[in-house]
Amino acid sequence: MFFEFGIKDIIDIVLVALMLYYIYRLMKESRSLNVFIGIMVFVLVWLFVSQVLEMRLLGSIMDKLVSVGVIGLIVLFKEEIRKFLYQLGAHQRVKNIMQFFSSKKSKSPEEDKATIMPIVWACMDMARGKIGALIVIERATPLDDIVQTGELIGANVNKLLIENIFFKNSPLHDGAMVISQKRIKAAGCILPVSHAMDIPKELGLRHRAALGIAQDSDAIAIIVSEETGRISVAIKGQFRLRLSAEELEGILAKEMTG
């Protein structure tokens, strides 16, 4: 049997190891690591009982538990499975393949700048006044479920309108603003909060909400801190902190045209 071990077996082992490592990272980020370890221990015991010891009764009982348990795991880890599939589809190489077959026309730099600059100017003014803000820019992934949690606006992107929505006495200032197709679609929206353990402690709920939507979609989330006045961006599940106006404009210009 040893001499039948070939290159396909090596590839098979490597792929399984990579899959387990990726699942381990995903579970660690979602604070489900102990559940993952428990599942792995159960699988090892099941294999040992059924394959090595060949205990038919106990093995058959565990077989039944495994077949039913798969459905239970799908229900239990539906958010993690959704995140895994999203990240797989959002991988840069997959996106490049999709763009190759897509006939979608690219927007001109002037059209993008007309949307980007009011956002940048509004963020700079709010940063100087230490007015908290959370702006989400929709890209390929639809955010209709997020929009439904807020109040519909349906207005052109405008610096003064953005500042008025996030003014401290405004009833919509605590939620997130969603910008879609160069228009302010809704405000006062509720975002999913990230439970990642590596978020710096000085970052508050706005940052966690921004990272949450950046992990669940390809959206760009801009945060203005109410405590420090600093501007940050959450994109592709990562933070870019302490941004200047030029850096914010550069990120938006690159990501909104990419």
Classify residue 31: in a domain, yes or no.
Answer: yes
Q: What is the CATH number of the domain that holds 186?
A: 3.40.1700.10
Q: Could you tell me if residue 104 is inside a domain?
A: no
Query: How distant, in Å, are the alpha carbons of 20, 39, 48, 74, 117 from that of 70?
Result: 16, 11, 19, 6, 49
Residue 99 included in any domain? no
Which of 89, 118, 146 is the last residue before a domain boundary?
89
State whether 16 and 59 are in the same domain: yes
Same domain flag for 126 and 245: yes
pLDDT value at position 80? 64
Tell me the whole-structure pTM to 2 decimals: 0.65
Answer yes or no: do 121 and 179 share one domain. Answer: yes
Alpha-carbon distance 233 to 135, whole Å? 9
How many structural domains are present in the chain?
2
Considering the domain architecture, whether residues 85 and 113 belong to the same structural domain is answered as no
Domain boundary among 89, 123, 156: 89
**Which of helix, strand or coil describes residue 181?**
coil
Each residue's pLDDT tens digit, 16-64: 888 878 777 766 665 566 777 777 787 788 778 777 777 777 777 777 7
Residues of the chain with pLDDT under 50: 1-2, 103-106
Do 114 and 156 form a contact (C-beta atoms < 8 A)?
Answer: no
> Do residue 139 and residue 36 come from a single domain?
no
Q: Give domain status of residue 98, yes or no.
A: no
User: Which residues span the domain enclosing 169?
Assistant: 109-257
Give one DSSP letter per residue of 33-70, joined into a string.
HHHHHHHHHHHHHHHIIIIIS--HHHHHHHHHHHHHHH
> How confident is the model at residue 1, as a pLDDT?
46
Question: Would you give the distance in Å from CA 33 to the centre of its chain?
Answer: 19
Residue 16 falls within a domain, yes or no? yes
Find, among 189, 235, 173, the residue nearest to 210 by Cα. 235
Same domain, 185 and 144: yes
Give 209-227 pLDDT, tens digit per residue.
Answer: 999 999 888 899 999 999 9
Instruction: Examine the fold and report which residue of 89, 121, 140 is the final residue of a domain before the chain moves on.
Output: 89
| CA neighbor of 69 nearest in space, from 96, 40, 32, 109 | 40
